[in-house]
Amino acid sequence: MAINAAITAVGGYLPEYRLTNAVLETMVDTSDEWITTRTGIKERRILREKGKGVSSMGIKAAQEVLDKRGIGPEEIDVVIFCTVTPDMPVANTASYVISEMGMNNAFGFDLQAACSGFLFGLTTGSQYIESGRFKKVLIVSGDKMSSIIDYSDRTTCVIFGDGCGAVLLEPNEEGLGVQDTILRSDGVGRQYLNIKAGGSQYPPSKETVELGQHFVHQEGQQVFKFAVTNMAEVSARIMERNNLSSDDVAWLVPHQANKRIIDATAKRMGLSSEKVMLNIDRYGNTTNGTLPLCLWDYEKQLKKGDNLVFAAFGGGFTWGAIYLKWAIDAK
Ligand code: UT7
């Protein structure tokens, strides 16, 4: 039988501090009512300790994966760190995680596909496993969004939060694991969702900082239109081409950008709300963190053989869907 890449352990980490809608009401002109009805978010977590980057959360999530699977760091072959908020623009975060955790036999790199990063990372990691050359691939996926958000801009500061998840991929020859993936990209998106300065096109300067161009800028309504159409479309397509009916799908694992986008995707797939993983109310949009943190929260409810459909849409634009058979026996 062919080798599939299966998820064999899940970890997660969220900072302790909870930034509630009530506190945001004191910071910008917004209301709990607006945030709840437009997005579904009640609170988000913020990493407040100075000098701590996304790696500090990634290391904790990765350690939980190793502990749950009962393996040592030297057994990991590859680390892919999916993030838009690396510790530093140069010196990849994966290398730091590798050396901090003593993964002496691993190589690693960062992957940037915005909110779809986990899907791109899972697909990339799966190729290493399916090739037969690598046995243990760690996908760490999350963001410290608070480091790139302008807390005086009400259109973005109410949406995003910090958090990180991690999964281990291993070979499976029983037909479980990743079954099919659809990934898409379209550069039309960069005018609607970007950080304009700080890269090679507009290097950071006094002027770019004064203009706030090092913060996330989003034209929400435009992004919403693309997201709602494309996330639903790829999710329906991956069901069709794998002959999955809505009864066959045990869970939708959707990117958590907006409860209304999630509801539209579930509706298009014919799924009732009990089959939809949600954490946006508690964590907001953690960008690369949303999907693995959903798995982390719902892990106890998953059964070996369950059909999961992951779907995401994000900056770039990037979007996609993955069909995966769950491979872990609930304890
Ligand atoms: O994860 C990556 C991909 N990102 C997404 O998928 C996000 C997609 N977009 C969205 O989820 C939604 O567009 C938002 C949640 C970002 C915004 O919701 P919306 O329903 O599209 O609102 P809007 O931008 O059309 O704004 C409606 C009104 C505006 O006021 P006027 O012009 O009608 O007077 C905004 O100024 O709401 C105002 N507004 C706010 N009011 C209170 C915008 N932000 C806020 C706020 N509190 N925080």
Taking the C-alpha atoms of residue 174 and residue 6, their distance in angstroms, rounded to an integer, is: 10
One domain, residues 31 and 141:
yes
Protein residues with CB under 6 Å of any ligand 1 atom: 30, 34, 38-39, 115, 154-155, 158, 220-221, 223-224, 227, 257-258, 261, 285, 313-315
What does the pLDDT look like over 209-233, one tens digit per residue? 999 999 999 999 999 999 999 999 9
Share of the chain above pLDDT 90, in %: 99
Please compute the mean of the pLDDT values over residues 268-293 and round it to a whole number.
98
Number of Cα atoms under 13 Å in the Cβ half of residue 184: 21
Same domain, 251 and 171: no
Concatenating the DSSP letter of every residue in 131-186 gives TTS-S-EEEEEEEEGGGS--TT-HHHHTTB-EEEEEEEEEEESSS-EEEEEEEEE-
Number of domains in the chain: 2
Q: What is the mean pLDDT of the chain?
A: 97
Is 200 found in the same domain as 130? no
- Taking the C-alpha atoms of residue 213 and residue 198, their distance in angstroms, rounded to an integer, is 8
Closest CA to 106 of 85, 88, 81, 131: 81
Within 10 Å of residue 183's Cβ, how many Cβ atoms? 18
Give per-residue pLDDT as tens, 25-44.
999 999 999 999 999 999 99
Residue 119 scores a pLDDT above 90: yes
Question: How many angstroms separate the CA atoms of 69 and 22, rounded?
Answer: 39
User: Could you list the residue range(s) of the whole structural domain that residue 293 is in?
Assistant: 179-325
Ligand 1 centre to CA of 198 (Å) is: 25
On the question of pLDDT at 100 being above 80, the answer is yes
What's the mean pLDDT in 93-111? 98
Classify residue 330: in a domain, yes or no.
no
pLDDT of residue 196: 97
Residues 24 and 157: beta-carbon distance below 8 Å: yes
Please report which confidence band the pLDDT of residue 329 belongs to, taking 50, 70 and 90 as the band edges: confident
Rounded to an integer, the average pLDDT of 154-177 is 98
The predicted model gives 182-186 an average pLDDT of: 98
Domain boundary at 175, 193, 212, which?
175
Domain membership of residue 89 (yes or no) is: yes
Structure tokens at 65: 């994966």
Among the candidates 175, 198, 220, a domain finishes at: 175
pLDDT for position 1: 79
Q: Strand pairing of 107-111 and 217-218?
A: unpaired
- Ligand 1, atom 29, lies closest to the CA of 155
What's the predicted TM-score (pTM) here?
0.97
Statement to judge: residues 140 and 267 lie in one domain: no
331 lies in a domain? no
Beta bridge partners of 35: none
pLDDT computed for residue 331 by the predictor:
66
User: Are 225 and 287 contained in the same domain?
Assistant: yes
Supply the residues annotated as catalytic.
115, 255, 285
Contact call for residues 253 and 225 (beta carbons, < 8 A): no
C-alpha 148 – ligand 1 centre gap (Å): 18
Whether residue 128 has pLDDT greater than 70: yes
Mean pLDDT in residue range 110-134: 98
Q: Where are the alpha helices (DSSP H) in the chain?
A: 21-27, 32-39, 54-69, 93-101, 117-130, 154-157, 206-210, 220-241, 259-269, 280-283, 290-298
Query: Can you give the CATH number for the domain in which 256 is found?
Result: 3.40.47.10
Same structural domain, 207 and 317: yes
Distance 235 CA to ligand 1 centre (A): 24
Say how many C-beta atoms besides its own lie within 10 A of residue 25's C-beta.
Answer: 16
